[in-house]
Amino acid sequence: MAELLKYSELPIDWDLTPEEAVTLYLEWGNNNWHGAHSPVRSKSDFSVYFVVDTWGEKPKAVLIKRNSEDTEELLQMPLPEYVAKAYEIEGGKTRGVSAPTETVKAWLRHEMGYAGN
């Protein structure tokens, strides 16, 4: 998956969930200053994170870059069959957009060439 390698230098927040991203960037003032993520202070603040999209026939990983004004999908790629099956076991079969499970994160890290996963 050479596609992922070109994003390996981005500051990916592996723990940011879609719900937390909405709180940080779309619901100004609703952020816990003592939480895991620092509050957004300006338009130049951004986050890069993965979600799993299960609206289609097969689950796919989506790399997102978000700031207070825009959301950009940098990459969409289907999960390999074994990762998709593990995702369904860990995350259920509900359709929607959710945070990647640990299995999905490990696969993404491996594909991005991160040592130690």
- Residues 21-32 have pLDDT tens digits of 888 777 655 565
For residue 19, count other CB atoms closer than 10 A to its CB.
Answer: 11
pTM (predicted TM-score) = 0.85
For residue 56, count other CB atoms closer than 10 A to its CB.
Answer: 10
- Residues 12-52 have pLDDT tens digits of 999 999 988 888 777 655 565 556 666 666 677 888 999 99
Q: How far is CA 3 from CA 20, 40, 53, in A?
A: 26, 29, 18
